[in-house]
Amino acid sequence: MKKLIQIIILLLLSNTFIIGQRISVVNVSELTNLSNGEFYYPKFSSDNNKVFFTQSNYKGLYLLTTTDNSITKLTDDDGAGYEFAIDINNNSVYYRSDRYINKRKYSSIKACDLNSLNVKTIIADKRDVSTPKIIGGGNIFYTVQKSLRSFESKTLKQKSNKLTSTSSFVQIENSKIALYQGNIKKILAPLGKGNYIWPSLSPDKTKLLFTLAGKGTYISDLNGKILVYLGYANYPKWSPDGKWISYMVDKDNGLSVISSDIYAASADGNLKFRLTDTNDIYEMYPDWSSDGSEIVANTYDGKILLLKLKIEE
């Protein structure tokens, strides 16, 4: 009887803890308006003092300084706004620039110094180039025709094309998930055939978050074993502490978006909260600040929004 009472008390305490977890938005403000231009896919810098974004179709790359909301154009290159990498320690941003030659796509990897705005080309006009990833202390990795390459962020010189034993990243290759861990590359398709998108590793590098188009969003271990099903949850992003997943629930009529709101779910999938609830504003593509206290997003018509959060645990 005593043991049963102890179990009941533990369950009640556990449920109280779960119920006590809550995330909500306490304020929404506009960082840009349409007179500044139409901007999309925003991303915080790690110091939270800068927000980077692009135009439609990932054309160009822009920097907004949050202290005065000033906007600086960094480049007008096609593709620059897709999965760019921000290196605040070296005050630089790295991106892939795309162009077509005889109807074939060629890509370059470039570095922009945020002080001088000078742009340097790391590699030029190669086929099948991935976006750059910052791994470890200032090393930038990318792939060319699925072959791993890297350069050092301070000197921009090519380095060893090997990850350290504790380094890892993921990207999409041939519609599947490619997991690079140290010197090992693993191709994953946890749910079989399909188009895998938006893969990312948890902050502690032990779990994989991804979406299978038409099926939903999942969390798995690093061998592809499914741990959590989040359902319809587009553009999923880990919170910095790994406790939450932000995402959007968007709908379209085949021609254009007809609704979109931002949600957050606990990483175990047990809790889900709607962060925006607007009929005439379609909030999309959320990204966390490094301290987890804010989310930046864009509206369907191209405004950049800042959502201040309240998280109760």
Give the model's pLDDT for residue 10.
Answer: 36
- Judged against a pLDDT cut of 50, whether residue 249 lies above it is answered with yes
CATH number of 37-162: 2.120.10.30
Q: What is the pLDDT of residues 211-238, one digit of tens each?
A: 999 999 999 999 999 999 999 999 999 9
- Judged against a pLDDT cut of 70, whether residue 56 lies above it is answered with yes
Residue carrying structure tokens 């920097």: 63
Rounded to two decimals, what is the model's pTM?
Answer: 0.91
DSSP result, 120-170: EEEEEEESSBPPPEEETTTEEEEEETTEEEEEETTT--B--S---TT-EEE
Q: What is the pLDDT of residues 121-155, one digit of tens each?
A: 999 999 999 999 998 767 899 999 999 999 988 88
Give the Å distances, CA to CA, from 296 to 31, 38, 234, 289, 306.
Answer: 9, 15, 15, 8, 5
